[in-house]
């Protein structure tokens, strides 16, 4: 009789734990913070970096996000900016060392290394969207010009 009670109590406890785990997994996240591939992208924490491309990295170090990285020299510091695997061939070829760029994105600590998850690049009159406003990588990105037909400049509205 005691073993039956113990078994029922254990089954009830296990069912409760599964219910709580399922409820936590189904709980909605705040709309402002997106989490994908282990990174939390919070648009409220976006920063803009203006600097010179020091190096274009197509084979990132082990533990870094896959895809192209730009090592940017800005204000005497080096910034590792992840621009992902989906840049158009034209944009990949245009990004070279010495190129002046403006990158907007969110800093994320990945395996102890600070990486800027780029959302937008501006260089050579091009405005390139790398991620959407929730931080998801965007495919088939091409350069854009403002609706007025004028090239895009650093600072956005020049």
Q: What is the pLDDT of residues 15-27, one digit of tens each?
A: 444 444 444 444 4
Residue position matching structure tokens 């609706």: 147
74 backbone dihedrals φ, ψ, rounded to 5°? -140, 125
pLDDT in tens, 95-110: 999 999 999 999 999 8
Residue position matching structure tokens 């959407």: 132
* CATH number given to 34-129: 2.40.50.140
For residue 15, give the DSSP letter.
Answer: H
| pLDDT at residue number 30 | 42
For 61, residues 6+ apart whose C-beta sits below 8 A from its C-beta are none
Residue (of 70, 66, 77, 67) closest to 56 by Cα position: 70
Task: Give the Cα separation of 76 and 98 in Å (integer).
Answer: 15
3-state SS, residue 146: coil
| pLDDT at residue number 19 | 45
| pLDDT at residue number 140 | 64
Please state the pTM of the whole predicted model: 0.67
Ranges of residues in the chain whose predicted pLDDT is under 50: 13-36, 141, 143, 145-146, 148-149, 157-158
For 45, residues 6+ apart whose C-beta sits below 8 A from its C-beta are 106, 107
Query: How many of the other CB atoms lie within 10 Å of CB of 120?
Result: 21
| pLDDT at residue number 101 | 98
For residue 137, give the DSSP letter.
Answer: B
| pLDDT at residue number 117 | 95
The distance from CA 17 to its chain's CA centroid, rounded to whole angstroms, is 33
């Amino acid at each position: 009789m005691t073993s039956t009670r113990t078994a029922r109590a254990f089954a009830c406890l296990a069912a409760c734990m599964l219910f709580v785990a399922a409820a936590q997994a189904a709980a909605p996240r705040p709309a402002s913070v997106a989490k994908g591939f282990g990174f939390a992208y919070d648009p409220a924490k976006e920063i803009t970096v203006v600097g010179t491309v020091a190096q274009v990295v197509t084979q990132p170090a082990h533990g870094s996000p896959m895809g192209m990285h730009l090592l940017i020299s800005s204000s005497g510091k080096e910034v590792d900016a992840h621009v992902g695997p989906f840049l158009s061939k034209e944009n990949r070829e245009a990004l070279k060392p010495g190129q002046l760029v403006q990158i907007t994105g969110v800093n994320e600590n990945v395996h102890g290394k600070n990486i800027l998850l780029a959302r937008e690049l501006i260089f050579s009159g091009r405005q390139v969207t790398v991620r959407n406003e929730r931080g998801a990588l965007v495919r088939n990105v091409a350069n854009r010009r403002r609706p007025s037909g004028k090239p895009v400049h650093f600072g956005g509205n020049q």
